[in-house]
Amino acid sequence: MVNSEQPTVLVVDDDVDCAESLCDLLSELGCRVQARHDGRTAVEAAVVLRPALMIVDLALGSEDGCRLMNTIRDLLPPGDRPVMVCLTGRADPRTELECLQQGFDLFLSKPLIPEALHEVLAVAASRRRWRLPAAAGARSMPLPPPG
Query: For the segment 22-50, what is each residue's pLDDT rounded down to a tens digit?
Result: 999 999 988 999 999 999 999 999 999 99
Query: Residue 69, Cβ neighbours under 10 Å: how many?
Result: 26
pLDDT higher than threshold 90 for residue 131:
no
pLDDT at 124: 85
Residue range 105-132: mean pLDDT, rounded:
84
Please indicate whether residue 5 or residue 62 has the higher confidence score (pLDDT). Answer: 62
Report the C-alpha gap between 116 and 130 in whole angstroms.
19
pLDDT at 79: 87
Residue type, 147: G
pLDDT band with cut points at 50, 70 and 90 for residue 61: confident
Residue range 100-116: mean pLDDT, rounded:
91
∠ at Cα 110 (4, 88), nearest 5°? 85
Q: Do residues 132 and 143 touch, judged by C-beta distance below 8 A?
A: no
Please indicate whether residue 102 or residue 144 has the higher confidence score (pLDDT). Answer: 102
pLDDT higher than threshold 80 for residue 88:
yes
pLDDT band with cut points at 50, 70 and 90 for residue 133: low
pLDDT at 137: 43
pLDDT at 126: 85
pLDDT at 96: 93
pTM of the model: 0.84
- Coil, helix or strand at residue 115: helix
Report the C-alpha gap between 88 and 26 in whole angstroms.
17
Residue 133 has phi, psi (to 5 degrees) of -55, 140
